[in-house]
Amino acid sequence: MASGRVCGGFIGLLALFAYIDAASQTVNQELSDIFNELWKLDVNRFKAGTDYRISLQGKAGYIPSGSTTATDHASSPLFSYVNENKLKSITTYARFMKLLDNYERATGVAEKVTSEEVTENNAFLDAILETAVMKRAHQYLVKKGKSQSSLRPFKSQLYYMWFRLYHRERKGGEDSSGFEHVFVGETKFGNEIMGLHNWVQFYLQEKQHLLDYKGYKARHNDMPDEDDHVLNVQFSWHGLVKPVGSTFIGVSPEFEMAIFTILFLTSTEKTTIAVVNMAEYQLEMVVHRHGRSIGTSYPKLLSSNSRHV
């Protein structure tokens, strides 16, 4: 009798977990719709096989968080080719790349923002605000009552969200920002990689032999293709290992900033997770807030090549 109750309780727990898992996979249709609009407007997205080529190689193995060693399942870099002339000739990319060397890598080390860096931040925001992607995102946020219709307060909103410095570590000065964490990457306690979810930074760090791609991560035999625009990857950076990191591939910086700005501003949760169907991908979009600024944001690939349909 007792064993029957235990068995029943166990089955009940399994059912509960299955329900929670199913509930967590409910697709947010409204966000899916606006993100697909932005996807179609992203004319600056690089084309796989033409503007860049990637080499997926092997599937990465499991390593525990905090480990500094990983078996390398990829003897070559992830990016075998990127059209650098195109990177430099598109204003949003060119201004974006100027920001990548403006930060101290280690948390706990206070950032010193020069007037030149403030000018670079503003020039980047001016460039993305001129794109169809960011104009549509702004329009959407105004309609939702989350932003003002005037461009100046919206730009200020973006600056505060992405570039305002804050304390990620209690010791020392203001050592981090949303932009640094998400697009540039940082290290914690000298033993952990945080952030670094941007493909351009990934490529540039690979090119300088500071980052070593270890292989892709995939769920349920959902094998990625070399023309995929979202990947889960494992890599080392400055001698540290990231067991799994997720990144868009080829998308423009304005596209990433637009979707994560929308996700951030349309929620008040400390951590916002939304499942969306975008293009041929099913993604778990994650934003964690640090006050009124971005703490982190990234896409987590659930399924690609429309396998979820």
Kindly name the residue from 181, 214, 217, 229 that is annotated as catalytic: 181
214 in active site = no
**Phi and psi for 89 in degrees, rounded to 5?**
-90, -20
73 in active site = no
Cα separation of 196 and 182, whole Å? 5
Kindly name the residue from 138, 197, 214, 290 that is annotated as catalytic: 197
Residue in 95, 242, 108 with CA at minimum distance from that of residue 166: 108
The total of other beta-carbon atoms located within 10 Å of residue 126's CB is 14
The total of other beta-carbon atoms located within 10 Å of residue 207's CB is 13
181 in active site = yes
Taking each continuous run of H as one helix and of E as one strand, the counts in the chain are: 10, 10
Provide the token pair at 265: 């501003």
Q: Are 140 and 262 in contact (CB under 8 A)?
A: yes
By DSSP bridging, strand 281-290 and strand 186-188 are unpaired
Kindly name the residue from 138, 229, 242, 290 that is annotated as catalytic: 242
| Cα dihedral value 236, 257, 45, 275, nearest 10 | 80
Question: Residue 233: beta bridge partners?
Answer: 216, 245
CA atoms lying within 13 Å on the CB side of residue 190: 0
DSSP 184: I
Q: Are 186 and 195 in contact (CB under 8 A)?
A: yes
Instruction: Name the residues annotated as catalytic.
Output: 181, 197, 242
